[in-house]
């Protein structure tokens, strides 16, 4: 099953992945990482492994598994 993983410590909270996910899988979580960024989490199981989020992420914080 397709799955997306956000590496919390690398996320810079830019929001690109949230904006470009066609399935609305990603959103800001309620926690911050050690640098103070409110990192992104997956909020549903609808990922289709299109990799749009991973391509957009400037921090290399997203891994997609098919």
50 lines the binding site for ligand SF4 (CB under 6 A): yes
Q: In angstroms, rounded to a whole number, what is the distance separating the alpha carbons of residues 49 and 22?
A: 10
Q: Which is nearer to ligand SF4, 32 or 50 (CB)?
A: 50
Site residues for ligand SF4, 19-48, by CB under 6 A, read: 21, 23, 25-26, 40, 47-48
| Secondary structure (DSSP) of 11-62 | -----HHHHH-TT--EEEEEEE-TTS-EEEEE-SS------HHHHH-TT--E
Binding site for ligand SF4 (CB under 6 A): 4, 6, 11-17, 21, 23, 25-26, 40, 47-53, 56-57, 59, 61-62, 64
């Amino acid at each position: 099953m397709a799955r997306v993983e956000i590496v919390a410590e690398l996320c810079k909270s830019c929001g690109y992945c949230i904006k470009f996910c066609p399935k609305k899988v990603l959103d800001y979580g309620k926690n911050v990482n050690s640098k103070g960024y409110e990192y992104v989490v997956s909020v549903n199981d609808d990922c289709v492994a299109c990799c749009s989020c991973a391509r957009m992420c400037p921090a290399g914080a997203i891994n997609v598994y098919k």
